Structure 1
Amino acid sequence: MLTRQGWTVLGTGVGTVVLGRIFGMLELYLAGAALVCLVLIAVLSVLLSRLTMTVAREVRPDRVSAGTESRVDVLAQNRGTRRTPVLLMVDPVSGTRGARLMIAPLAPGASRDVSYRLPTERRGIVEIGPLRLELSDPFGLALLRIPATEVTELTVYPRIHRIPPPPHTFGDDPHAGADHPNALSLTGEDFYALRPYVIGDDMRRVHWPSTARHDEIMVRQDELPWQSRTTIVLDTRSSTHTDETFEYAVSAAASVLQACRACDDLVRLISTDGADSGFSSGKASADSLMEYLAAVRLSAGGTMTGVFQRLAGSSSGGTLVTVGATRSAAEELAATRAGTAFGNHIHVVATTRLPDEVGPLTVLTGPLHSFGDNWTAVVSALRARRVVPR
């Protein structure tokens, strides 16, 4: 309730009153009593201020990529019958000093919009709030804090590079690891879906029971739409990364994920900390993986060799993209064995140095390397060697 200044004045007043009584000095006694009364008046003025305020806060947008602008819009409205005093709006923001905004007096029924920008330079979860209103007396002796809104969050995704998706491979399987709807006709024949008849369709594919129900000719679609598959392995070990190289690695993984999402490809994200998303596609799945990449941190456990050994026993096919640091000899051997289960294997290396030698399917990223250009060059070379175009 009392500010530091208020406690100082109160202590001074009490001490002065005591000294006035001890030395029998009426002037000193009165001066101390006046200071104490001033503090009491300040407290009463704050407590008796009847504020009837509504405060609404909105983060726009609440999910952004690193470096993209996001802001907080606050609407304060006076629903009382008296004019409000000058108010201080305090909104804590994690990783910063927070926002402190002054609101001029509002007439009854009046409202005011205030805005401020949020820090989005680095990925992560930014906590905003709880927002509170602070009312003080003119002397700054007493302070009343009024809770206004709850805590909200801003999700800052990793920085995204615009890159082409990995190319199709001969190992891509339309049924790759995702659950697709499957219907069973009354004749016992399996098919993928039903669709309206178009000129040129084989009449033998007409599904007559559905045609009768929908009063429209419906035909069977026997084949699944083609979906490429990409497995992304992210090395999160603190023993192989610095904070700087890890940020470049996470950004590269997120960029590959977004490129696959744009083509509605099936994506699987695995990390050395034990996370494994399984194959999935669609906006909801991609958003969930981006949430993970926004919050992932360096960890002490896990090995790349263990991940490669798991992958070597699978027949998932598609493209394998490993994102991490320079691999040891044992990891290279395990990666080679795992790569036989995939059509392509691209290795993304996050480094702050210029390596002496780079493999044909190695993509460098870091402060000295352009990930977008290096990735595009490798993907273009792979597409040139493939018969199946993207």
Structure 2
Amino acid sequence: MLTRPGWLVLAGAVGSFFVGRLFGLVELYLLGASLVVLVALGVARVLLTRLRLEVGRQVTPRRVHAGQPARVELTVTNRSDRPTPVLRLHDPVTGTQGATVLLAPVAEGLIVRSAYRLPTERRGIVGIGPLGVVLTDPFGLATVRAQAAPRSELTVLPRIHDVIPPPVAGGDEPLAGLRQVALATSAGDDFSALREYVVGDDLRRVHWPSSARHGDLLIRQDEIHWQGRTTVVLDTRVHTHRGESFEIAVSAAASLVSAAWKRRDLLRLVTTAGFDSGVVGGAAHVEQLLEVLATVAPAQPGSLRGLMESVHRGGSASVVVLVGSVGARELLSVLSLGAAVGSAVVVATAPGAGQRPGTTGVDTRANHPDILLLDDRPFAPTWNTAMLTKRARRSRPRGIGR
């Protein structure tokens, strides 16, 4: 109820009464009484003021990637028949001291608008509110707060970089076990082959001109489109990450998921903390994966090898493993398990990965074309360079350079 100045004035009043009684000074009694009356008037002012406000809050947009702008727009409508006093709107915001907006007196029936920006430098959930309207007396001695809007949230997704999609696994299944049959056009010519009719075939698939020429019923056989799988493995073990290496790994995972989806791959995201999305496809599922990455946090040690074995049982896929600071032996082990699934690349985001124990030199076993040691280099250009080199190496005719 009382503000800090209000408590100080009240303490001054008590002190004036005490000193006035000690020395018999009537003036100090009067001063103390005046101060008490001043505080009482301030309290009465805030308690008797009746506000009829309609306050709206809109977060725009509700989901952004790290670094993108987001703002809160406030709308205040005075439904009373008299102007409001000076109002202070305070909105708590996660990670900050909150946002404070001062409004001059709002006339009756008037609508005023204000806005402030939200912090989006780091991924995560930004809590907003509950919004409070703070009314203070003219002397700043007493205050009262009323809730005007409930709590809202802004989801800050990981920062996404423009990267090349992971290499396609050589053993990708058609649609990863799902078939998308291309429907024939009305002209009946959109098919890849013809085959003889089998009892149970849909007669609407009969290609009548070819059937008339051959004397037997022929069925249009549509082309089955191939679709790749991409599996992103995120090492969340807290002891393997240093400094910003975990954030780099999360941003890399989001970038790879986005790039693979642009290629229309089926996606799977797994972490050493136990999360497994399963094989998913579609824009809604991709958004869910990004939301998971927005809130993922370093966890207690898990089994990376056990996780890779479960990935191995999931079928053919292009696997990208994002780890922190691990030794060359574990890097090669993870790469071997990933390569058994299809195509595999291991990216170490923490400085010191692949080093010999007790030294600062990189173990020669970690010098593998499918192991990327960032060593403080930015992920996107390092990844893109490695993928272009890998692509060029695959397309080079055998015998050249020997």
The normalised TM-score by structure 1 is 0.84
Residue aligning to 2:349: 350
1:304 matched to 2:312: no
Structure 1 residues 340, 242: CA separation in 2 closer, same or farther (over 3 Å shift)?
A: closer
Structure 2 gaps of 5+ residues are 206-218, 354-360, 396-402
CA positional deviation for 1:364: 3.8
Aligned pairs for 1:105-124 within 5 A: 105-124=105-124
Q: Distance in 2 between matches of 1:344 and 1:85?
A: 67
Contact 2:232–2:270 (8 Å) recurs in 1: yes
**Equivalent in the alignment of 2:84:** 84
Query: Which residue does 1:321 correspond to in 2?
Result: 320
Distance 1:363 1:340, change over 3 A: closer
2:384: which partner in 1? 376
- Aligned-pair CA distance for 1:294: 1.1
Q: Deviations over 1:165-217 (max 9, x none)?
A: 1232321112426xx5x8xxxxxxxx9586653441469786549xxxxxxxx
Q: Is 2:170–2:342's contact at 8 Å kept on the other side of the alignment?
A: yes
Please name the residue that 2:140 is paired with. Answer: 140
Q: Tell me, what secondary structure is at the counterpart of 1:176?
A: helix
Provide the rounded CA distance (Å) in 1 between the counterparts of 2:76 and 2:328. 62
AA of the residue aligned to 2:67: G
Distance (Å, rounded) in 2 between the aligned partners of 1:386 and 1:227: 20
Report if the CA contact (8 A) 2:237-2:298 is conserved.
yes
Kindly indicate whether residue 268 of structure 2 is the aligned counterpart of residue 268 of structure 1.
yes
Shift of 1:378: 2.8
Please tell me whether the aligned partners of residues 192 and 220 of structure 1 are also in contact (alpha carbons under 8 angstroms): no
Which residue is 1:7 aligned to?
7
Deviation at 1:240, TM superposition (A): 0.9
- Asked if 2 retains the 8 angstrom alpha-carbon contact of 1:2 and 1:143, the reply is yes
SS in 1 for 2:50: coil
Question: SS in structure 2 opposite 1:46?
Answer: helix
| Distance apart, 1:383 and its partner CA | 3.6
| 1:315, distance to aligned residue in structure 2 (A) | 5.3
**Where does the alignment leave 5 or more consecutive residues of structure 1 unmatched?**
183-190, 210-218
Equivalent in the alignment of 1:257:
257
1:307-346 Cα shifts (integer Å, max 9, x gaps): 123334x151121100013543552453244234322111
Q: 1:32 to 1:339 in 2, by over 3 A?
A: closer
Aligned match of 2:371: 362
Deviation at 1:53, TM superposition (A): 1.0
For structure 1, which segment, 60-69 or 166-175, has the greater mean C-alpha deviation from structure 2 after superposition? 166-175
**CA displacement at 1:226 relative to structure 2:** 2.4
1:11-50 equivalences under 5 Å are 11-17=11-17, 19-20=19-20, 24-50=24-50
Change (3 A) 1:76 1:207: farther
For residue 108 of structure 1, give the secondary structure of its aligned residue in structure 2: coil
- Compared CA separation, residues 31 and 353, structure 1 to 2 (3 A): same
Q: Tell me by how many angstroms 1:249 deviates.
A: 1.0
- The whole-number CA distance in structure 1 between the counterparts of 2:295 and 2:249 is 14
1:309–1:328 Cα change, 3 Å: farther
Tell me which residue corresponds to 2:211: none
On the 8 A contact 2:58/2:74 being kept in 1, the answer is yes
**What letter is aligned with 1:129?**
G
Rounded to whole Å, the distance in 2 between the matches of 1:130 and 1:220 is 62
The two structures, once aligned, show a CA RMSD in angstroms of: 2.8
Would you say the 8 A contact 2:2–2:143 is kept in 1?
A: yes
1:349-383 Cα distance to aligned partner (Å, 9 max, x none): 1033697464212234464x132222223323444
> Partners in 2 of 1:258 and 1:30 — Cα distance?
74
What letter corresponds to residue 61 of structure 1 in structure 2? P
Report % sequence identity.
44
Aligned residue number for residue 278 of structure 2 = 278
- The 3-state SS of whatever aligns with 1:236 is coil
List aligned pairs for 1:236-251, cutoff 5 A.
Answer: 236-251=236-251
Match of 1:149 in 2: 149
Distance 1:221 1:364, change over 3 A: farther
CA offset at residue 20 of structure 1? 4.2
Counterpart contact for 1:207–1:220, Cα < 8 Å: no
Q: TM-score, normalised by structure 2?
A: 0.82
Residue aligning to 1:127: 127
Aligned counterparts of 2:346 and 2:185: Cα–Cα separation in 1? 44
SS of equivalent residue, structure 2 residue 149: coil
- 1:246 and 1:292 map into 2 onto residues whose CA distance is 15
d(CA) in 2 for partners of 1:379, 1:194 = 35
Q: Distance in 1 between matches of 2:48 and 2:151?
A: 28
Residues 166-175 or 56-65, more deviating: 166-175
